[in-house]
């Protein structure tokens, strides 16, 4: 994801995170490392763990 799109995503999620959590759309904010990308920070704001990977069967 390019920087411009990541910035737009982060701005969008940050603008609605509080109300989205109230209605159960987003989970609690997930802490990310200090050097996390803007995309990873956006994902953390939305209550998703950016380091999560699906386990292969």
What single-letter DSSP state applies at residue 41?
H
pTM assigned to the model: 0.84
Instruction: Note the pLDDT of residue 57.
Output: 78
Per-residue pLDDT of the chain (57 residues; tens, 9 = 90+): 899 999 999 999 999 999 999 999 999 999 999 999 999 999 999 999 999 999 987
Q: What is the pLDDT of residue 25?
A: 96
Q: Which long-range contacts (CB under 8 A, 24 or more apart) does 39-43 make?
A: 39/1, 39/6, 39/9, 39/10, 41/10, 42/6, 42/9, 42/10, 42/13, 42/14
């Amino acid at each position: 994801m390019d920087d411009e799109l990541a910035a737009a995503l982060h701005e969008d999620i940050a603008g609605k995170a509080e109300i989205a959590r109230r209605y159960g759309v987003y989970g609690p904010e997930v802490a990310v490392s200090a050097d996390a990308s803007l995309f990873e920070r956006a994902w953390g704001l939305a209550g998703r763990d950016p380091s999560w990977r699906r386990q292969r069967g």
